[in-house]
Amino acid sequence: MVKVLIVGGTGPVGQTLSKLFLSSQTPFLIGSRNPISINNENDNVASQSTSNWIHMDLTKNEGINKSIDDDVDTILYLASLPQATTNDGQPIDITLTKNLLNSIQKKNIKHLVYLSIVGVDKMPFSYYKGKLECERLIKESGIPYTILRATQFHSLVEDIANYLLNYPMDIVSKVAKIQPIQVEAVAMELAKIVKEPPLNSTYDIGGRKIYTMKEIADSLLEARPEKESTVNMPIIGEILNGFAEGYNTCDNISLNSNTWEEYLANKYPK
């Protein structure tokens, strides 16, 4: 029976995909450095997924061939280490991608699905440049592929807002744009992609609404117990200009995603 291999399947997207695949009875394996953690005895999804887990460490090029048996013909590539670099300062995601591609060149892989980020081709982050190089390597590998670029998850957007709000004055831009999307919506899109033929192209998916960072920060402060106010931050530098131009947003909206307001209401009920 044909299986899907989720590379880096223990993160939020991978865990959600595991639930979807278990529900749809889609055969799958999870390849990752760390085993699946079971937080409580009632975590049935994690318990069932542990039997599907195989050790795979792309940083050391370990376990890849063992993970990709003859039944695997589709790979969902989710693994990423945003803060890690090689000794020469190169984003380590490039090394992960090279190791994966080298290991699967002679395998019967019919579809490689890669999760990337909206704006990697326009935003001047070193991490984004690394993701863009990973996209290029996949495109030139000769392996049939689909690349899904997603906007930022709700939790990451909250982390960004909290980081900005840690300054003595809550200085947040009212023109920098962001388009939060629900993890489950991205997982649902990936689950749909693996059932379809490879596109051999890239497409974007984003949350249901585009906000300014000031709107995000103000609504976050309103939702939390403490009440503060924010001050506008002027756009300075190439990175902030990219946010102001909306390079990290897209027109293709996921109707499966909840909104930022719904995310806050669920996390901070009143």
Domains in the chain: ranges and CATH: 4-267 (3.40.50.720)
- Tokens 């050391």 locate to 60
For the whole model, what pTM was predicted? 0.89
Candidate from 28-37, 105-114, 168-177, 256-265 with smallest mean pLDDT? 168-177
Taking the CA atoms of residue 97, residue 159, residue 125 and residue 103 in that order, the dihedral angle to the nearest 10 degrees is 0
pLDDT, position 35? 76
- Say yes or no to pLDDT of 157 above 90: yes
Arithmetic mean of pLDDT over the chain = 86
C-alpha pair distances (Å), 107 with each of 56, 102, 136, 163:
16, 10, 20, 44
How far apart, in whole angstroms, are the C-alpha atoms of residue 228 and residue 240?
Answer: 23
Amino acid identity, position 181: I
Residues 38-65 have a mean pLDDT of: 67
Confidence of residue 235 (pLDDT cuts 50, 70, 90): very low
Based on the number of CB atoms within 10 Å of its own CB, is 259 exposed (0-12), middle (13-18) or buried (19 or more)?
middle
Query: Lowest-pLDDT range, 28-37, 159-168, 223-232?
Result: 223-232
